[in-house]
């Protein structure tokens, strides 16, 4: 009988692995007068474990991307499903548009993603699902521009998040510190300037809003932080600089360098470490679903 039960369990477990449900939610933005979709991955246990409130991981996409990237671009299409099941986490993939950098644009009225993500998406998710309605159970990370977004939003809204991460983060908004090539400058002028404005005209904005300049704010917030970068990634020096500044000002944080470049293979490798970190935070906060 025991082995029969076991067999049944294994079957169930197998099915469970694919039972994680993905909703596509429409979340309107009053600030932008638009409605964007979000992909919500619910762990298999969510449907059964009706009494539990689930922690939520906000997982941000990168530049040129959209809300469903993390589900459609990882080589392993079941990655998020498996992590949601393994850690009993709701994983929310909100929209950040191609180049919003998840901030409230000073020049584009309908690019207000800081407001959207903090004042509109969170309440919508907390209303639609059985979530831990507290920073203790709310986590945020992302890749590239999404790594910037996760560090930026958590640095400015420490009351909303229990921990934050970044993978291959584009943590520097300014390009004043780069030796930008003519191509890069042309690219910025064409793609970024219309959305976040011109650094030449508003350098203070670019400096004040670069995560790499927020080390003291991050220190003050005291949130658990994890970020990483591939050593073959063009953004490695920015991430090393972020790490050094947080070491310099004695800010507790996890920092990892590993092989790899700015690719989905890298992010598929990196995400499980970040979720393991978040899982430890949730346990410490007493809000993990067993």
Report the nearest approach of its own copies to the CB of residue 203 (Å). 9
Element (H, E) at 251: none
Which is closer to its own copies, CB of 157 or CB of 243? 243
Q: Give the binding site for its own copies (CB under 8 A).
A: 2-3, 5-6, 8-9, 12-13, 48, 176-179, 207, 216, 219, 231, 237, 241, 243-245, 247-250, 252-259, 269, 272-273, 276, 280
CB of 78 to its own copies, least distance (A): 13
What is the closest distance, in whole angstroms, from the C-beta atom of residue 154 to its own copies in the complex? 17
Those residues with Cβ within 8 angstroms of residue 45's Cβ, 6 or more apart along the chain or in another chain: 16, 52, 85, 88, 289
Nearby residues of 245 by Cβ (< 8 Å), 6 or more positions away: 212, 215
Contact between 145 and 62 (Cβ < 8 Å): yes
Q: What angle do CA 91, 150, 106 make, to 5 degrees?
A: 125
113 or 148: CB nearest its own copies: 148
Burial zone of 75 (CB within 10 Å; 0-12 exposed, 13-18 middle, 19+ buried): exposed
By C-beta, is 110 or 216 nearer to its own copies? 216
Q: Give me 173's structure tokens.
A: 């908004």
Q: What are phi and psi of 24, to 5 degrees?
A: -110, 115
CB nearer to its own copies: give 115 or 269.
Answer: 269
Of the pair 195, 215, the CB lying nearest its own copies is at 215
For residues 100 and 95, what is the distance between their CA atoms, to the nearest angstrom?
10
Quick one: 41 or 275, whose CB is closer to its own copies?
A: 275
* CA distances in angstroms from 71 to 6, 39, 60, listed in the order given: 31, 8, 11
Q: How far is the CB of 9 from its own copies (least distance, A)?
A: 4
CB of 10 to its own copies, least distance (A): 9
DSSP, res 244: H
- Tell the smallest beta-carbon distance from residue 86 to its own copies (Å): 9
């Amino acid at each position: 009988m025991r082995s029969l039960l076991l067999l049944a369990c294994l079957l169930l477990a197998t099915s469970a692995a694919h039972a994680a449900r993905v909703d596509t939610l429409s979340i309107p933005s009053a600030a932008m007068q638009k409605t964007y979709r979000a992909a919500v991955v619910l762990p298999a246990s969510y449907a059964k474990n009706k009494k539990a409130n689930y922690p939520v991981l906000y997982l941000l996409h990168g530049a040129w991307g959209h809300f469903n990237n993390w589900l459609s671009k990882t080589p392993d299409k079941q990655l998020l499903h498996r992590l949601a099941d393994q850690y009993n986490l709701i994983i929310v993939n909100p929209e950040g548009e191609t180049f919003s950098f998840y901030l409230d644009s000073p020049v584009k009225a309908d690019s207000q993603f800081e407001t959207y993500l903090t004042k509109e998406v969170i309440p919508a998710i907390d209303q639609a699902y059985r979530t831990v309605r507290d920073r203790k159970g709310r986590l945020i990370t992302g890749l590239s521009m999404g790594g910037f977004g996760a560090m930026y939003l958590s640095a400015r809204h420490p009351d909303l998040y229990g921990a934050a991460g970044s993978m291959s983060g584009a943590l520097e908004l300014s390009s004043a510190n780069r030796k930008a090539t003519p191509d890069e400058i042309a690219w910025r002028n064409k793609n970024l300037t219309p959305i976040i404005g011109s650094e030449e005209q508003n350098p203070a904005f670019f400096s004040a809003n670069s995560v790499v300049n927020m080390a003291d704010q991050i220190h003050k917030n005291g949130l658990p932080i994890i970020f990483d970068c591939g050593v073959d990634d063009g953004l490695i020096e920015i991430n090393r600089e972020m790490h050094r500044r947080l070491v310099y000002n004695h800010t507790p944080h996890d920092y990892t360098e590993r092989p790899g470049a700015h690719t989905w293979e890298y992010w598929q490798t990196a995400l499980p470490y970040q979720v393991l970190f978040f899982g430890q935070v949730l346990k410490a906060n007493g809000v993990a679903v067993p």
